[in-house]
Amino acid sequence: MAEAVRDAFGHTLVQLARENSDIVVLDADLATSTRVVYFAQEFPERFFQMGVAEQNMMGVAAGMALMGKIPFVSTFGVFASRRACDQVAISVAHCRLNVKIVGAYSGIVSGNNGATHQAVEDVGIMRAIPHIVVVDPSDGVETEQVVRAIVAYDGPVYLRVTRDVWPRVSPEGYNFVLGKAVQVREGVDVTLIGSGMMSSQCVEATHILSRSGIDARVLHMPTLKPIDVEAIVKAAEETGGIVTAENHNIYGGLGSAVAEVLAEHAPALMKRVGIQDCYGECGGNAELLCKYGMSPQHIAEAAQSVLQGRNYSVRRL
């Protein structure tokens, strides 16, 4: 059974904390959901319960980073990005402090909590804040490497952490490198670029496309900032068309980042699959992906329309 990103995050953090006594964790009363509870159990003296007060939590983390700590600030993505936005910008990013901000239950697939708990704009917010590295891993295998990499990296990071188990995307022998994309499926007709759990939906979409004789490439983009320009340009030049798929609003996230690269370096026809500038609602993950135009079927249709050079609009399944 594959491991959910949140579980891999929680377990890896404990492993790293055994080697690195500078790691501290700050929680806003969500430790069991975010899985920093594992850390709290093993390192109670380094676990700081901050209560339901995210703005102060972000600032306290900044102060701890000044003292050489590596604070992991853990809450839901909606609160990390929106509630504490000014603290992230001024106390963490402007000061270029070594704070790791962990936004759990990212995107629309957030454990049937509905719109208030679905982070659909967190990547856009964090990407727009100078100095912040933004990472959106796909599965547990990758997450373990991501957590190691961001501890090794000295600077502010926003890490997206999904709640549930999604099909594994990481290839055998995968080696995550901060800022680098990874090709998880070869293909020549079109490239599907995914981030987070949506990369698994891209892989699913390739099976649908195969039935129509379309050989789609899948490029997984775990680091959303800095974005891997070289990999995007290569995909555009080699396959012509691009489809992005993200667990986020189509504004400000992966689709925007890829569009920026294509427009400046390698203009190509592209379509963006993601949340179409709206808030979500309650429901199961598969139902939400289907209703909000983010299912493998939607990705496949976007790819077909790119190939046909047609305008694509979301069809309700």
Partner 1 sequence: MSSLSEQEIRRLEEIARRIRCRTVRTISEAGVGHVGGCLSEADILTALYFHVMKLDPQRPDWDDRDRFVLSKGHGAVGLYSTLAERGYFSPELLKTFGRINSAFQVHPDMHMVPGIEISTGALAQGLSAALGIALAARLDGKAFHVYCLIGDGESQEGQIWEAAQTAAHYKADNLTVILDYNGVQLLGPVSEIMEIAPVADKWRSFNWAVVEIDGHDMRQIITALEFAEEIKARPCIVIAHTTKGKGVSYMEGKAAWHGKPPNEKQLAQALVDLGCDRAGDAYG
- Residue span binding partner 1 (CB under 8 A) among the ranges 57-65, 157-165, 187-195, 205-213: 57-65
* Residue 266 CB neighbours (<10 A): 15
Give the footprint of partner 1 on residues 6-25 (CB under 8 A).
24
Within 10 angstroms of residue 22's Cβ, the number of other Cβ atoms is 15
Identify which of residues 48 and 251 has a Cβ nearer to partner 1 in the complex.
48
Residue 229 beta carbon to partner 1: minimum distance, rounded to whole angstroms: 28
Phi, psi at 205, each rounded to 5°: -65, -30
Helices (H), 104-186: 122-128, 140-152
| Using rule CB under 8 A, residue 55 touches partner 1 | yes
The answer to whether the CB of 103 falls within 8 A of the CB of 80 is: yes
| Residue 72 burial (CB count, 10 A) | 28
Does residue 1 interact with partner 1 by CB under 8 A? no
**Three-state secondary-structure class, residue 152:** helix
Task: Give the number of residues written for the chain.
Answer: 317
b vs e for 194-226, b when ≥16 Cβ sit within 10 Å of the residue's Cβ?
A: bbbbbbbbbbbbbebbeeeebebbbbbbbbbbe
The Cα-based distances of 159 to 93, 100, 146 in angstroms read: 14, 7, 9
Say which amino acid occupies 68.
G
DSSP-derived 3-state class of residue 222: coil
DSSP label at 91? I
Q: Does 81 bind partner 1 (CB under 8 A)?
A: no
Residue 242 binds to partner 1 (criterion: CB under 8 A): no
Active site residue 144: no
Given a contact cutoff of 8 angstroms between Cβ atoms, the answer to whether 215 and 207 are in contact is no
Q: Judged by CB under 8 A, does residue 153 bind partner 1?
A: no
Q: Which CB, 81 or 91, lies closer to partner 1?
A: 91
Q: Does 90 bind partner 1 (CB under 8 A)?
A: yes
Contact call for residue 167 and partner 1 (CB under 8 A)? no
Task: Report if residue 63 touches partner 1, rule: CB under 8 A.
Answer: yes
Least CB distance from residue 312 to partner 1, whole Å?
Answer: 42
100 binds partner 1 (CB under 8 A): no
45 binds partner 1 (CB under 8 A): yes
Interface pick for partner 1 out of 18, 53, 264, 284 (rule CB under 8 A): 53
Residue 50 in contact with partner 1, rule: CB under 8 A: yes
Of the candidates 98, 170, 97, the one whose C-alpha atom is nearest the C-alpha of residue 140 is 170
Q: Which of 54, 144, 204, 246 is catalytic?
A: 54
Report the DSSP pairing between strands 241-249 and 270-275: parallel
> Nearer Cβ to partner 1, position 55 or 113?
55
Contact pick of 5, 23, 31, 61 for partner 1 (by CB under 8 A): 61
82, 94, 148, 234: which one binds partner 1 (CB under 8 A): 94
Number of residues that bind partner 1 (CB under 8 A): 31
Q: Does 135 bind partner 1 (CB under 8 A)?
A: no
Among 2, 7, 30, 46, binds partner 1 (CB under 8 A): 46
Q: Does position 226 bind partner 1 by CB under 8 A?
A: no
In angstroms, the CA 148 to CA 12 distance is 8
- Binding residues (CB under 8 A) for partner 1: these are 24, 45-46, 48, 50-51, 53, 55-69, 71, 86-87, 89-91, 94-96
Query: Would you name the residues annotated as active-site residues?
Result: 54
